[in-house]
Amino acid sequence: MIKLFVKILIVISLSLSLSTFAFSDDHKTSKEIINELKSEIKELDAEPVKSKLLQRNKKYIDDLKAQRDALLKEKEKKEKIKAAKKEIQKELEALGAKPIADTTDIDTDEEIIALKKQLKELKDKIAKEKEEKKLAEEKKKAEEKKKAEEKKKAEERKRDRDQAIQTVKKEILFLGETPVSEFDVNNNDEYIASLNEQLAEIKILKAQEEKDIQQSIPNWFIKVPGNTEKVMFVRGTHVSDTLQGSVDTATNRALRELAKKIEVRLNSKQDEMVREAGLGENTASKTEINTIAKTVVKDVTLSGWEVAESKIVSLDNGNYRSFILLQYPLGMIYKSFINRIEQSPELKSGVTALKNTETFKELEQYVSEFTGA
């Protein structure tokens, strides 16, 4: 046993001697490497691992390198995390959010996770708000469009109602009646109904009235006596709620018709006279003769006419219908016409030629028969 123990001591001693001898050549270099590694590790804010008992320098250098590499890897990881964090924070700030505060009780990975979660929640919120805003705007536009369409339809309905009201009113007025007042009803629809009801009643009354009138029309009104060169006949009729109003209006209508017919007759006579006198190129003479004709026509409605026939019909509704037949001696208008031609200063140079025409002499003959001269 003692021999065995002595042998072991000898082996250990030899091993130590060989180790010391092996390191004697590179001790200085290994120490420098160890010191450099330790410096690098301290710069990385860590304490270098300690050499183990009886550990060879080479193994210790490997341990230091492993520690340094691990620290560098960790540093690189932290820098990447820091860069990612900074990027997320910038994105959060760009979206108007304040990044969550840094904490020391959570590691960096958890902080990145928290920031990413915050960013995602913020983006989701913004997207949701954007979608809600879009939907709200679309809803608003739809409501505005609906209101515009309803307004347009309401305006169209109002325009149609107003047009319908005016149409019925015009028809009632045309029939000689006064439309009911719009203040007697609550709305336009009721007013249109009232107007249509009034119009229907008026048409019934007018139909009956027309029937009565047709039965009461005198034959001389239907078959007016023929006009000659000596006398002209015209007729007029009117319905009024007063007898005198009916007679006067019927007479005035007949007189207006008389003036139109006499104007046509005189225009024909003056054209023939001017042509026969050779004054067709004399504009001044033609204008003067035309002025004289218009002047004497105005006198027609003042005097000279006579009521040849008349009839007044009392209608069932209390109104009166008058039928008037007027006659007018044309010799009177011819007399006024040729006298003014003879007395006109503007026609002095051409009056002789005018008086020598067949038409002028014909008119003088009618005047002579009218006056009995």
* Residues 352-367: tens digit of each pLDDT: 888 889 998 988 898 8
pLDDT mean over 201-228 = 81
CA distance 58 to 157: 104
Q: What is the pLDDT of residue 247?
A: 94
Q: Please list, residue by residue across 68-97, b when 16 or more beta carbons sit within 10 angstroms of its beta carbon and e when fewer do.
A: beebeeeeeeeeeeeeebeebbebbeeeeb
User: What mean pLDDT do residues 195-217 have?
Assistant: 78
Q: Classify 235 as helix, strand or coil.
A: strand
The 10s digit of each residue's pLDDT in 131-185 is 889 989 899 999 899 988 888 888 888 888 788 888 988 888 887 788 877 766 6
Token pair, residue 57, equals: 């320098």
- Contact criterion met (CB below 8 Å) for 254 and 326: yes
Whole-number pLDDT of residue 121: 83
Q: How far apart are CA 126 and CA 131, in angstroms?
A: 8
Average pLDDT over residues 217-244: 90
The residue among 363, 326, 339, 302 whose CA lies nearest residue 227 is 326
List, in order, residues 6 or more apart from 96 with CB less than 8 Å away.
none
**% residues pLDDT > 70 (the chain):** 87
Please state the length of the chain. 373
Which of 84-88, 156-160, 231-235 is most confident?
231-235
What is the pLDDT averaged over residues 28-48?
A: 87
Rounded to an integer, what distance in angstroms lies between the CA atom of residue 183 and that of residue 170?
18
| pLDDT of 296 higher than 60 | yes
Phi, psi of 50 (to 5 degrees): -90, 150
Tens-place pLDDT, residues 307-341: 999 999 988 888 999 999 999 888 888 888 889 88
Quote the longest CA-to-CA distance of the chain.
Answer: 201
Q: For 227, list phi and psi in degrees, rounded to 5.
A: -85, 150
User: Is the sign of the CA dihedral 306, 311, 314, 315 positive or negative?
Assistant: negative
Give 298-302 contacts, CB < 8 A, sequence gap 24+.
298/259, 299/333, 299/336, 300/255, 300/258, 300/259, 300/262, 300/328, 300/333, 301/255, 301/256, 301/258, 301/259
pTM above 0.75, yes or no: no
Strands (E), the chain: 231-240, 306-314, 320-329
For β-strands 306-314 and 231-240, DSSP reports them as unpaired
Q: CA angle 231-233-236, nearest 5°? A: 155
Contact present, 238 and 246 (Cβ < 8 Å): yes
Helical (H) or strand (E) element with 284: helix 283-300
* pLDDT surpassing 80 at residue 287: yes
